């Protein structure tokens, strides 16, 4: 593979490589004797070609004009270009939230010096409080015993919960755990590649769970953060309408951070029987400088097993082979979204305009879902073909972005 050169002459300008990362680079463009611009772009490759019986090896390529705004950007100062470069190099995620059954290690966890289990107590008497119903009366189990509150201990975003029944669960964001331990803050907008997952699993085994094969996975959340060419909030609000023909079950615009302060954001959630699909503006939530769109799937492990993902225990997250199918599920769920087009009618023929007119009407979408599902599916296929031909970025472009990001995170060192 031929990599990008340190110096290049293009379109009458001299370009000099300033910084090269694992995903992107910065070139200085000499505009005049006293002025420079800086171009930041993602690595793209052209495959091996044979022209006139001559073989040209695969090579990294410079961005063409149409690439700017999608995978290439221009800045007037190095500081601005460097900020973009850092965002690209750090942006991404694979696994976030997990929930596992750790009942087998109940006694070990209760005696662990890193964990301090607590239950609500009365400030007046010091008595451990029991659960109450909505009228303020005590709740009792079938044996007539008062039902206690959960006992909870927290450690670096991991939550250990002992239920009144005696079952014990560990849950939380292992991505945030990774960042907290390494001094990068209580956040999950930077990269969390496969190697990071392995390091967190190793720490959990050393500190809490001696054998990860003994704890069963219950829930798993996986997804990616994408540097997005459009405003994520507007894109989610105005254009992401349905998932498998269903409207969102939750739309949220206000969130609370880990210290209780209110922050803005925009999220749409589509809740199904065995999974939840969420898409939201991660950049707005964390006040990032770049447009960052988050797409994720939160699933019961039983559903994943039915989809040929062999993640039964916590230890199975250390098997890289499981992540290829997780990535396929993520892309498949994205492709089930109905995304309103932004095509220009002037570019379309009469038939294409007719299809778009039907599905741009939200009342039609609702009636198709209730009465004419087969007609809806047929029109959606035609609609998607049109969008992939004329929209920028098209649904196919975003699906490709998810695939590329997932593979980058899986193979990052």
1: in domain: no
**16 and 76 co-located in one domain:** yes
Look at the alpha carbons of 119, 124, 125, 131 in this order and tell me if their dihedral is positive or negative: negative
Last residue of a domain, one of 89, 109, 142: 89
Q: Is the per-residue pLDDT at 164 higher than 80?
A: yes
Measuring CA to CA, how many Å separate 277 from each of 86, 172, 265, 297? 28, 18, 17, 5
Which of the four pLDDT bands, split at 50, 70 and 90, describes residue 217? very high
Residues with Cβ within 8 Å of 65's Cβ and at least 6 positions away in sequence, in order, are none
Residue 91 has pLDDT above 60, yes or no: no
Are the C-beta atoms of residues 287 and 296 closer than 8 Å to each other? no
Domain presence at residue 256: yes
pLDDT at 266: 92
| Total number of domains in the chain | 3
From 58, 89, 120, the end of a domain falls on: 89
Over range 152-168, report the average pLDDT.
93
* DSSP state, residue 355: H
The predicted pLDDT at position 257 comes to: 64
- pLDDT of 148 > 90? The answer is no
Tell me, yes or no, whether 180 lies in a domain. Answer: yes
Query: Are 301 and 359 members of one domain?
Result: no
pLDDT recorded at residue 371 = 57
**Are residues 160 and 130 part of one domain?**
yes
Same domain for 25 and 159, yes or no, is: no
Q: Is the predicted pLDDT of residue 259 greater than 60, yes or no? A: no
**Distance of alpha carbon 281 from the chain centroid:** 10
Q: Is the pLDDT of residue 285 over 70?
A: yes
My answer on whether 68 and 85 are in the same domain is yes
Same domain for 302 and 182? Answer: yes
On the CB side of 288, CA atoms within 13 Å amount to 29
Between residues 61 and 370, the one the model is more confident about: 61
Q: Residues in the chain, how many?
A: 413
pLDDT tens digits, 12-40? 999 998 877 667 888 999 999 889 999 99
**Does residue 60 sit in the same domain as residue 174?**
no
Asked if the model's pLDDT at residue 139 lies above 70, the reply is yes
What average pLDDT score do residues 248-266 get? 80
Any domain includes 293: yes
- Computed over every residue of the chain, the mean pLDDT equals 87
Position with higher pLDDT, 268 vs 58: 268
Q: Residue 381 sits in which domain range?
A: 343-390
């Amino acid at each position: 593979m031929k990599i990008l050169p340190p110096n290049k002459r293009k379109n009458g300008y001299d370009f000099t490589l300033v910084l090269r990362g694992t995903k992107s680079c910065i070139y200085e463009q000499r505009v005049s004797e006293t002025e420079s611009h800086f171009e930041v772009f993602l690595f793209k490759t052209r495959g091996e070609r044979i022209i006139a019986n001559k073989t040209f090896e695969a090579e990294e390529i410079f961005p063409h004009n149409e690439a700017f705004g999608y995978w290439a950007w221009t800045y007037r100062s190095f500081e601005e270009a460097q900020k973009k470069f850092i965002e690209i190099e750090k942006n991404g995620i694979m696994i976030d939230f997990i929930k596992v059954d750790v009942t087998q290690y109940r006694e070990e966890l209760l005696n662990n010096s890193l964990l301090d289990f607590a239950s609500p107590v009365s400030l007046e008497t010091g008595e451990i409080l029991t659960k109450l119903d909505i009228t303020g009366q005590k709740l009792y189990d079938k044996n007539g015993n008062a039902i206690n509150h959960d006992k909870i201990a927290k450690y670096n975003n991991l939550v250990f919960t002992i239920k009144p029944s005696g079952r014990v669960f560990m849950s939380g964001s292992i991505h945030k755990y990774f960042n907290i331990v390494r001094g990068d803050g209580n956040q999950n907008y930077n990269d969390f590649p496969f190697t990071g997952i392995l390091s967190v699993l190793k720490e959990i085994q050393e500190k809490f769970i001696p054998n990860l094969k003994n704890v069963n996975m219950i829930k798993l959340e996986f997804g990616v953060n994408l540097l997005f060419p459009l405003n994520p909030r507007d894109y989610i609000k105005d254009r992401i309408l349905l998932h498998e023909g269903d409207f969102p079950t939750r739309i949220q615009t206000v969130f609370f951070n880990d210290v209780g302060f209110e922050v803005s954001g925009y999220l749409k959630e589509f809740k199904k029987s065995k999974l939840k699909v969420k898409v939201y503006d991660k950049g707005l939530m964390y006040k990032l400088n770049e447009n960052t769109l988050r797409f994720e799937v939160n699933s019961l492990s039983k559903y994943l097993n039915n989809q040929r993902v062999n993640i039964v225990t916590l230890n199975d997250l250390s098997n890289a082979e499981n992540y290829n199918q997780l990535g396929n599920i993520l892309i498949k769920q994205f492709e089930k979204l109905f995304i309103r087009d932004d095509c220009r009618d002037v570019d379309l023929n009469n038939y294409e305009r007719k299809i778009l007119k039907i599905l741009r009407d939200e009342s039609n979408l609702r009636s198709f879902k209730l009465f004419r599902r087969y007609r809806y599916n047929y029109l959606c296929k035609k609609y998607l073909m049109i969008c992939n031909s004329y929209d920028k970025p098209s649904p196919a472009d975003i699906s490709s972005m998810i695939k590329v990001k997932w593979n980058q995170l899986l193979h990052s060192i």
